[in-house]
Structure formats: structure tokens, C-alpha cells
Amino acid sequence: MFELASMGIGYGSLLMLGLLILLLLTGMQLAFATGLVALLFALGWFGPDALPIVSSRLYSFIGNYVFLAVPMFVLMASLLDHSGIARDLFDAMARLGRRLRGGVAIQTLVVAVILASMSGVIGGETVLLGILALPQMLRLGYDRKLAIGTTCAGGALGTMLPPSIVLIIYGLTANVSIGDLFKGAFLPALLLALLYMGYVLIRVWLKPEMAPLPSDQDQPDTPAPNFFKALLFPILSVVVVLGSIYGGVASVTEASAWV
């Protein structure tokens, strides 16, 4: 058997990443691709004796009670997608940025923060922003790179903003308090979002052609009652989930099931 340990950790990591990307490009599902790569490299590095360790570690990991929060937050993201809440939220936020140069990009980042604080799912949030925000920015004449970058940066905020699934999995793997991870990641994630907004405002101020001001016909005129109704549920869910965790009222798993 080829000994991967002789390659060193650097080349072995590159080979692992390359193999994972190759398997994903073939259309293999992520769960099976990562599992196959882990199995092959465990055999190559440690030999057959490592297989019982992998199976026991996998069972102890998925049997953790806190891991129940992951499917609950995924379900919340699915409800956001199918119920139209995310679309109503984006249309409502359009009222706040209609007179601001780069306002659609700013509202995209604000909606990204709210959605990330509701679901914690990165992929679903990026897809939602790509469906709702990106076409509108391109239609209004925004610079293509600015529009795509704003969408991707906003979607990636779900990595840090609680209740991030990444933080939950990291906390379970590293045996660290997930509540403490949420508390420690909130302010840096919020600061990162504000820096994104500041960058957009400075960029469009230096180059106004990157974000033309929309006319009244370009922005949806959401009535006032619908505006507050669209904001009610997202803000309430964020307050319930994060407030209960930070206040010590509920654990992460219990808070994930409330909404």
C-alpha cells in the first residue's frame, strides 16, 4: 500500500484537497465525497487499524445531543426559502436604500445579516441572495464585480454570525462551549458586515458609475403596513433565538426548535 505519511503533511493536504474537488466535480454528493477521502487517507496514513477509530469517532459525534440544532436550523432556512419571507424582507428593505448610491448593495448586506442570524446556513443564504439581490443590482446597472462580490460576501457572513452551523460543528469537534462561540463571534461578524458596507459606500463614492442611482420606477413601492409586517417575523425570530441563548434561557438545541 502507498504510504501517504512519506509525503509529509503539506503535500498530503494538497492531495486531499485535490481529490475532494475531483470527486465533487464528478457529481458525487458532498457527504460521500468527504467520507471517501477520509477513508482513503486514513488507510494510507495509519493503515487498517485506523478504521475502528474512524467508526467510533463518527458514532460519538453524531450521537451528540447538541448536533440536533443543525437540522433545525437547516429547516428554518428551508422555511425562509419556500415561505417567501426572505423575498418580502428584501422588498421591504428596498424602501430604506432607494435614495442612497449603492443602496441596493447595502440592503443586500443588511438582509444577509438578518438571514444569517435566523438560519445559520451558508449555502442557502447565498442562493437566496443570488436569486433576489444579484439580478436587481445587475438590472439597475451596478458594476458586475461589485454586485457579485457583495452577494458572495453577504452570503459568507453565515459562517460567523450566530447561529452558525459551522460554529456548532466546530464546537462539537473541539469540545468547546457553543454558546461561548456564539457570544465571541457575534461582534466580529457584525464588524465585518459594517466593513463590507463601508467599502461599498467608499467605492461607489469614488466611482459613481459603479452604482447608478435608481429611479422611482426601478424600486418597489412597498406599503407601510407590509413594510413593518415583513420585518416583524425576521426580527422577532432573531431576538428569540439569539436572545434566549445569550440570556441563558435556553441552550442552542432548544433555541433552534423554538422558531
What's the pLDDT at 65?
66
Q: Are residues 187 and 220 in the same domain?
A: yes
User: What are phi and psi for residue 23, nearest 5 degrees?
Assistant: -65, -40
Q: Do 58 and 74 lie in a common domain?
A: no
If asked whether residues 154 and 253 sit together in one domain, one would say yes
Q: Do 194 and 244 fall into the same domain?
A: yes
Residue with cell 458586475: 144
- Is the pLDDT confidence value at 110 over 70? yes
Same domain? 180 vs 85: yes
Number of domains in the chain: 2
**Helices and strands in the chain: count of H runs, count of E runs:** 12, 0
Backbone angles phi, psi at 98, to 5 degrees: -70, -25
15 or 232, which is more confident = 15
Question: Which of the listed residues 63, 96, 114 is the one where a domain comes to its end?
Answer: 63
| Boundaries of domain holding 89 | 66-258
Kindly state the helix (H) or strand (E) to which residue 139 belongs, with its residue range. Answer: helix 122-139
> Are 76 and 178 part of one and the same domain?
yes
Over range 190-208, report the average pLDDT: 91
Say if residue 93 is in the same domain as residue 121.
yes
Confidence of residue 112 (pLDDT cuts 50, 70, 90): confident
How many percent of the chain have pLDDT more than 70?
A: 78
Tell me what pLDDT residue 223 has: 54
At 160-174, the pLDDT tens digits run 888 787 888 788 777
Grid coordinates standing for 86? 426572505
Question: Of all residues in the chain, what percent are helix, strand and coil, respectively (each to 5)?
Answer: 80, 0, 20
| Mean pLDDT, rounded, for 30-35 | 82
CB 151 within 8 A of CB 196: no
- Which triple of cell numbers denotes residue 196? 463590507
Q: Are residues 103 and 119 in the same domain?
A: yes
